[in-house]
Structure 1
Amino acid sequence: MSVLSVYQASAPDVPLKVLTHGDDIATTLAEVGVRFERWEANAPIAAGASQEAVIAAYRPQIDALMRERGYVTVDVVSLASDHPQKAELRAKFLDEHRHAEDEVRFFVAGRGLFSLHIGENVYAVECVKNDLISVPAGTLHWFDMGENPHFVAIRLFNNPEGWVAQFSGDDIASRFPRLED
């Protein structure tokens, strides 16, 4: 189940509100410029499907979003709990950072926790299968895949080089809840 917990940035122990209804999550995030949607596949996806098969299952939605927002690259990232570098990969995304382009992720399987530091609040969004999140360029955030990651996500980029982060140097991410396995 998708969950949005909204915190004051100065009070990471107690959320101001917790939302679990998709429309409520989408409305709350839209108020701060973040896109959140639910997508359904046009074709069944088998476990271990190729990148091409995963993209094909969501091709109409991907093409529409690419036309609308000018994304030029799409790929699929997949990570399982038996990955030998899972700890290093997790650590790469746990510090607060921003990008010069939108960070768009669609969860085909599994889950992940995006925490967005916007103004005086932190919006912690646990995304699950069928969730699309688009974090606007310049938004401070961090991502937690958990100690035992399991997710398959479609990524869309404006920059053909893919994921390029600018770290803030703030340790705020270390004070907020992580994704529980």
Structure 2
Amino acid sequence: MAEIRIRNTGERISGEEKVKAFLENQGVLYEHWDAGKLPENLRNKFVLSDEEKKEILNVFDSEIRDLASRRGYLTWDVIALSDATPNLDELLKKFEQVHTHTEDEVRAIAAGNGIFIIKGSEDVGYFDVELTAGDVISVPEEKPHFFTLMEDRQIVAVRLFIETEGWIAHPFEDPEFKK
């Protein structure tokens, strides 16, 4: 279940309803899917074949199509990252820079965990959204953020897009951001 840490104060927010309410107030969609639907053999597997990725998409097909129809997403895929991913550190450097997109950035966590760092309202500042299996988040277009892995460095996530070629990051220079 997702948990939020507000960077300025260290305050933590947990519990599905409290997390959802906080994120909604910040313009960020949060939902929770049943990660227990994922077959046991895929729950802790972070190097996936194309067939296994298709299986994950099939398992969550109704949830994906529901979200896509409500939000206008046209295409989706599965990304798996772990220490076995070639050039992982280089990929993370690319991810770990505050940026925006011209479309939502959506992640539905199928296994493992990750973290979105998002710029909130003036009174909140930057906050971390720690995500685990079943958590679904949509960071709206033009909202400064970045995504990275947590300490165990392993995640499998469904990504949904409006643009069929995927999202393009636009760097966002912000003197207020502190790593």
TM-score (norm 2): 0.87
Q: How does 1:145-156 map to 2 (within 5 A)?
A: 145-146=149-150, 149-156=153-160
CA distance in 2, matches of 1:85, 1:148: 16
Work out which of the residue numbers 17, 22, 30 in structure 2 matches 1:28: 22
CA distance in 2, matches of 1:26, 1:19: 10
Aligned-pair distance for 1:118? 2.3
What do residues 82-134 of structure 1 show as CA deviations (whole Å, max 9, x unaligned)?
A: 22311001111111000000001000001111011123211210011100000
Question: Any idea what SS the aligned residue of 2:7 has?
Answer: strand
CA distance in 1, matches of 2:78, 2:175: 29
CA distance in 2, matches of 1:39, 1:3: 15
Give the number of equivalent residue pairs: 169
CA distance in 2, matches of 1:163, 1:147: 25
Aligned-pair distance for 1:167? 0.3
Work out which of the residue numbers 63, 67, 71 in structure 2 matches 1:61: 63
Aligned-pair distance for 1:42? 7.8
Question: Any idea what SS the aligned residue of 1:126 has?
Answer: strand
What residue number does 1:166 align with? 170
Change (3 A) 1:51 1:100: same
Question: Any idea what SS the aligned residue of 1:33 has?
Answer: coil
What residue number does 1:115 align with? 117
TM-score (norm 1): 0.86
Q: Which runs of 4+ in 1 moved over 2 A?
A: 41-49, 169-173
Change (3 A) 1:42 1:64: farther
Q: How does 1:22-171 map to 2 (within 5 A)?
A: 22-41=16-35, 43-45=37-39, 46-47=41-42, 48=45, 50-120=52-122, 121-146=125-150, 149-170=153-174
| CA RMSD, 1 decimal | 1.8
Q: Which runs of 5+ in 2 are unaligned?
A: none
Question: Any idea what SS the aligned residue of 1:26 has?
Answer: helix
Aligned-pair distance for 1:163? 2.3
Q: Which runs of 5+ in 1 are unaligned?
A: 9-13, 177-181
CA distance in 2, matches of 1:26, 1:63: 21
CA distance in 2, matches of 1:35, 1:155: 14
